[in-house]
Structure formats: structure tokens, C-alpha cells
């Protein structure tokens, strides 16, 4: 009986069955991508072969992958062997067809009549195999059914369709497992790349799991500390300077409680026993599978930077001290000249008062005042400190919002409000024992509005000029350095001055 759906036997078919070396090389690469060792005796494949045997009414069914020198049997029904030589494989022929290859009686088929599996045990007579083809179009093997009895009728249409459907199921499973393997390999490659990158950074890198145990430290920990990595957070305390440990660990507790990034500077014990300044930083990470937080962090060596900052602060402190001495000398010279030249006494006293105001502003922003990052109300309170009533209470009441100010803004602010206070002491509310001033600060988007309102001063006689030196000084300071504007008006109770200054211009 002639085999069904087979190409005619010829030298070309023989060459196709054995494949040339180039094709085998391609097939080998594709087959390797499935990592077949992981699929050996897979339960789902085993279930398919069992059903295929029942469907076709035969004792043997196989999922066969044809490799270079052997036929690997991934799933088996009715046989014990895991592999057979490729040169006696029926599936090596079946995989090259487009549909099922059916051999009703192998003894009557010229390709298989002399096959060792036909002439000897297990004495194969009937074979039917559906090709297994990868997404790349590479033939891998076949889902086949075998019997030791001949089947003259071959397979009926239902059995052919069923075998084709089952072969598709085999390939879907193989492709899904391969895709999963690729994804796992991609993740593993990325993790390895990340590990190499983290191992190469100059910082100590670490991670803490949701139970509070460290699960990773890069090699820098041991290189810097000379010790084995800590297991839990409290193991870290001996490596932090005693003077820094409580504060650093308290910051950590607050970060954990608030689910916020952690940052702290502390001295870290080195392998030689010395202490070096370090910056610890960490952030919480939530996995998709759990709401519990893991933490990833780094420890950066900032010892040299810390030393440089200390040296800078020392130099800035010395420079500040020298500037204060210069102010004192200039103020003293102005007052000495006033004593020797009475006709210039008023001007000299005004100049000395202005310089004294600038000196107070300098005190406010010198390095010892936390690098100039102080507050507006603090500066104003220092400027108005000399203006008090008989009971020692301030005569300039400051209210409203507050704002941090930088060193560059302190000087123009001091000049503006020194001028307003000086004029008030000469001509306005502060010249009277009962007079007061209210200074209200209001937040207005990108600006601050400062309203200076005098009450209880002497009656106004005439309208003061806007062209005096004091007015020009305020105008230059406000519009130039403070990027704002100012207006003044004289009401029945006294002067009202409204100043608008830019938040950006006064910011630290």
C-alpha cells in the first residue's frame, strides 16, 4: 500500500530528510532556544500524547524533537525510551511535510522497509505524524502515533483533524514556555547588568527587605569598613559615630513611619578605625505583589567635601570678623569727624546711623547665622530693636507672613527700613512718645506686600518732597535689588508706605 501524503522518494527528498549542515546549524539554534531539558516529561505534553493515542486507537504516541544525532522524546505514551538515533527516525521525514505523514504499513514503504525499528523490535507497522513547526518556520519534529499492527485505512478525517489540533496545542505550549524563558533570561540579564553597575559605583549600595533585614550590600561596604555587612538595621549602629548615631537612626525611623525618602550625614567607621563623613540616602520601594515597603539606599563618602566646607566657613568667619572691624572703624571715623566739624554733624550722624544699620544687617547674614538663610521678620526685628517705649516694648509692630531671605537681599532691605525708621524718628510717629508703627507683611503670589503705617505722630505740615536722598535710596533699593516697587502717601494719622518685593529676589 502506497504511503499517504508523502513526497515521492527521490534523491532530493533524501537530501531534505537529512538536511545539509547549514540548515542543521539554524535548526540547532532554534531548538536550543526552547531549553528542552526543562520540558522533558512535561505533564501537559504527556496529557496530549495520551489523548492522541486514544484518539487514533494506537498503543504508542510521542512528542518527538529531531536533533542533530538523535530524536528526543519529550512526552511518551506506550514506550519507556527517552531518545532514539536520528537515522531511524520516522519523524525526521514527517516534520518536512505540510500535513500529516501517514504510513499504513511500513514494510510496504520503500523509505522504511529496511528501518531497524521495522525489521526488529518494536516492529513498527503503522505510523502517522503531524509536523511541529516553530514560529520561525523551522521544522522541529512531530506529534506522532505508532502501532505494531498495520492500518490499511490510515486515519479518518476526524483523526487527522484531531491530530492537527493536538500538534497546534503542543506548539502553543512550546512557544509559551520559550517566551517565558526569554522573558526570564531578559530579566536575568538586566539584573546582572544592574548588579555589575551597582558593584562598580563608588558608593556603598544596599537594600532592605520588608521584614527589616538587609538582603544586599555591594562590595564597597567591605572595602570601606573592612567588616561583613550588617544583617539588620541595629547592626549598623557600631559603624556610625556615637555622636551621630541617635540623630541618624531617628531620621531613619521618621522616614519609615512617613514613607518618605531618608537622608542623613554621619561619620562612618572605616577599616583602619578612623571616622569619615558620609551621606546616607534611601527611598522606599513598593512591589506589585505586596504593599510592604522595601528600601534601596546608598552611602556616599563626603569627607573631603565636608572638610572643604569647614575650611570655607572658617575663612568666611574670619572675613566677616574683619568686615565688622571695618564697619566699626568707619563709624568711629564719621563720628570723630562730626566732633571736629560741627557744621557736618547732622550728615555725619546720618551716615553713622546708616552704617550701623548695615552693620546689623551684616550681623544677621554672617556665616554664624546659618549661612544667611534667615527670616525676614527676624531681620526687621533686629533693625527696629532700638525703637522701644519707656516700658521696653517695641514701637514697630511686625505682623503677617514670614519668608526666608538670602544674604544678597538683607542689605537693601536693611537700607530701606532703616531709612523709613530714621525718617519716622525725625519727623513721624517715632518722633513722638505716643507714636507707633505697624508693619504688615502679606503673601501675594510671586511677591510680598509690606505696608508701613504710622500712627500718633506730630501733625503733618506740608507735603514732603519725593526727590530727597532717602527717597531715591529707597527707590533704587526696591526697584533695583529687590525687583519691586513702592508707593507712599500721607494720611491724617501719618505716613503709609507700601512696598512690593519679589520672592525670587529675596530668596536664599
Dihedral angle, C-alpha 75, 81, 84, 89, nearest 10 °:
-60
Give pLDDT tens digits for 71-107: 999 999 999 999 999 999 999 999 999 899 999 999 9
Radius of gyration of the chain from its Cα atoms, rounded to whole angstroms: 46
297 and 322 in a common domain? no
Tell me if 124 is assigned to some domain: yes
User: Which domain-ending residue is among 256, 274, 301?
Assistant: 301
C-alpha to C-alpha distance for 159 and 170, rounded to whole angstroms: 16
Tell me how many domains the chain contains.
Answer: 3
pLDDT at 289 over 60: no
First to last CA, the chain: 98
The per-residue pLDDT for range 256-276, each reduced to its tens digit, is 888 889 999 999 999 999 999
Residue 368 DSSP code: G
- Looking at the structure, do residues 281 and 155 belong to the same domain, yes or no? no
Q: Which domain holds residue 362?
A: 307-506
Compute how many other C-beta atoms are within 10 angstroms of the C-beta atom of residue 248: 20
pLDDT of residue 17: 42
Q: Are 166 and 67 members of one domain?
A: yes
Same domain assignment for residues 213 and 268: yes
3-state helix, strand, coil in the chain (%, to 5): 50, 25, 30
- CATH code, domain with 247: 3.30.450.20
- Give CA 406 to chain center in angstroms: 31
| CATH code of residue 368 | 3.30.565.10
Give whole-number Cα distances, 26 to 38, 145, 350, in Å.
21, 27, 96
Please report whether residue 397 resides in a domain.
yes
Same domain, 176 and 277: no
- For residues 142 and 36, membership in a common domain is answered with yes
Q: Are residues 54 and 92 in the same domain?
A: yes
Give the tens place of pLDDT for each residue, 301-314: 888 887 777 766 66
Residue 75 belongs to a domain: yes
User: Which of 362-400 are b and which e, b meaning 16 or more Cβ less than 10 Å from the residue's Cβ?
Assistant: bbbbbbebebbebebbebbebbbebbeeeeeeebbebeb
Structure-model confidence comparison of residues 22 and 12, the more confident one? 22
Q: Give per-residue pLDDT as tens, 137-181.
A: 999 999 999 999 999 999 999 999 999 999 999 999 999 988 888
Spatial CB neighbours of 334, under 8 Å, sequence gap ≥ 6: 348, 351, 352, 355
The model's confidence at residue 468, banded by pLDDT at 50, 70 and 90, is low
Q: Judge whether 240 and 204 are in contact, CB under 8 Å.
A: no
Please report whether residue 469 resides in a domain.
yes
Please check whether residue 195 lies inside any domain of the structure.
no
H or E segment and range at residue 502:
strand 495-502
SS3 159: helix
pLDDT at 14: 39
The pLDDT of residue 55: 95
Backbone phi, psi, residue 280, to 5°: -95, 130
Q: Which of 501, 375, 376 is nearest to 444 (CA)?
A: 501
- Cβ–Cβ < 8 Å for 505, 412: no
* One domain, residues 296 and 419: no
pLDDT of amino acid 360: 61
**DSSP code for 270:** P
Do 27 and 80 lie in one domain? The reply is yes
Round to whole Å and give the CA distance between 435 and 460.
14
Strands (E) located in 270-391: 275-286, 293-301, 374-375
Does 193 fall in a domain? no
Last residue of a domain, one of 301, 316, 331: 301
Q: Can you give the CATH number for the domain in which 151 is found?
A: 3.30.450.40
Same domain assignment for residues 355 and 220:
no
pTM: 0.46
Establish if 68 belongs to a structural domain: yes
- Report which of 232, 236, 247 is spatially closest to residue 269, judged by C-alpha positions: 236
The residue among 92, 45, 50 whose CA lies nearest residue 71 is: 92
- E strand segments, 159-274: 204-208, 214-217, 262-269
Least Cα distance to 411 among 363, 472, 446 occurs for: 363
The CA-atom distances, in angstroms, between 42 and each of 59, 73, 177, 355, 501 are 20, 11, 11, 91, 77
Q: State the Cα–Cα distance between residues 279 and 295, nearest whole angstrom.
A: 16
Do 269 and 404 belong to one domain? no
Q: How confident is the model at residue 362 (pLDDT cuts 50, 70, 90)?
A: low
User: ∠ CA(182), CA(185), CA(186), 5° rounding?
Assistant: 85
Q: Which of 273, 301, 329 is the last residue of a domain?
A: 301
Same domain (yes/no): 136, 96: yes
**Is residue 495 in a domain?**
yes
Amino acid at each position: 500500500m502506497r504511503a499517504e501524503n508523502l513526497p515521492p522518494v527521490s534523491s532530493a527528498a533524501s537530501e531534505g530528510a537529512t538536511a545539509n549542515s547549514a540548515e542543521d546549524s539554524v535548526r540547532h539554534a532554534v531548538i536550543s532556544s526552547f531549553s528542552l531539558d526543562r520540558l522533558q516529561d512535561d505533564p501537559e505534553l504527556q496529557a496530549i500524547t495520551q489523548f492522541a493515542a486514544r484518539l487514533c486507537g494506537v498503543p504508542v504516541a510521542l512528542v518527538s524533537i529531531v536533533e542533530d544525532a538523535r530524536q528526543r522524546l519529550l512526552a511518551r505514551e506506550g514506550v519507556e525510551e527517552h531518545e532514539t538515533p536520528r537515522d531511524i527516525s520516522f519523524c525526521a521525514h514527517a516534520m518536512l511535510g505540510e500535513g500529516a505523514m501517514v504510513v499504513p504499513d511500513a514494510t510496504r514503504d520503500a523509505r522504511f522497509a529496511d528501518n531497524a525499528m521495522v525489521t526488529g523490535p518494536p516492529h513498527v507497522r503503522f505510523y502517522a505524524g503531524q509536523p511541529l513547526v516553530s514560529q520561525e518556520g523551522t521544522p522541529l519534529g512531530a506529534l506522532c502515533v505508532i502501532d505494531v499492527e498495520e492500518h490499511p485505512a490510515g486515519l479518518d478525517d476526524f483523526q487527522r483533524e484531531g491530530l492537527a489540533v493536538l500538534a497546534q496545542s503542543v506548539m502553543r505550549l512550546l512557544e509559551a514556555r520559550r517566551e517565558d524563558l526569554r522573558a526570564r533570561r531578559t530579566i536575568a540579564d538586566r539584573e546582572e547588568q544592574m548588579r555589575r553597575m551597582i558593584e562598580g559605583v563608588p558608593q556603598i549600595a544596599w537594600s532592605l527587605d520588608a521584614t527589616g533585614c538587609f538582603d544586599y550590600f555591594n562590595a564597597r561596604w567591605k572595602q570601606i569598613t573592612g567588616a561583613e555587612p550588617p544583617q539588620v538595621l541595629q547592626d549598623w549602629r557600631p559603624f556610625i559615630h556615637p555622636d551621630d548615631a541617635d540623630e541618624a537612626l531617628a531620621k531613619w525611623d521618621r522616614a519609615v513611619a512617613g514613607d518618605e525618602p531618608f537622608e542623613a550625614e554621619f561619620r562612618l567607621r572605616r577599616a583602619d578605625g578612623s571616622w569619615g563623613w558620609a551621606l546616607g540616602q534611601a527611598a522606599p520601594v513598593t512591589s506589585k505583589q505586596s504593599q510592604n515597603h522595601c528600601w534601596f539606599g546608598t552611602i556616599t563618602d563626603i569627607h573631603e567635601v565636608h572638610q572643604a566646607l569647614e575650611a570655607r566657613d572658617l575663612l568666611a568667619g574670619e572675613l566677616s570678623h574683619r568686615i565688622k572691624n571695618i564697619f566699626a572703624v568707619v563709624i568711629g571715623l564719621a563720628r570723630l569727624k562730626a566732633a571736629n566739624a560741627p557744621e557736618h554733624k547732622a550728615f555725619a550722624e546720618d551716615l553713622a546711623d546708616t552704617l550701623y544699620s548695615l552693620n546689623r544687617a551684616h550681623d544677621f547674614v554672617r556665616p554664624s547665622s546659618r549661612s544667611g538663610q534667615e527670616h525676614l521678620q527676624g531681620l526687621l526685628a533686629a533693625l527696629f530693636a532700638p525703637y522701644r517705649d519707656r516700658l521696653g516694648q517695641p514701637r514697630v509692630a511686625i505682623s503677617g507672613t514670614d519668608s526666608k531671605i538670602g544674604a544678597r537681599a538683607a542689605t537693601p532691605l536693611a537700607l530701606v527700613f532703616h531709612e523709613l525708621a530714621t525718617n519716622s524718628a525725625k519727623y513721624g510717629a517715632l518722633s513722638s512718645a505716643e507714636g507707633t508703627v505697624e508693619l504688615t507683611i502679606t503673601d501675594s503670589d510671586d511677591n510680598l506686600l509690606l505696608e508701613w503705617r504710622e500712627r500718633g505722630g506730630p501733625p503733618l505740615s506740608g507735603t514732603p518732597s519725593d526727590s530727597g536722598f532717602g527717597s531715591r535710596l529707597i527707590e533704587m533699593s526696591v526697584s533695583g535689588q529687590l525687583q519691586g516697587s513702592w508707593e507712599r502717601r500721607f494720611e491724617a494719622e501719618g505716613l503709609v508706605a507700601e512696598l512690593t518685593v519679589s520672592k525670587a529676589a529675596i530668596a536664599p
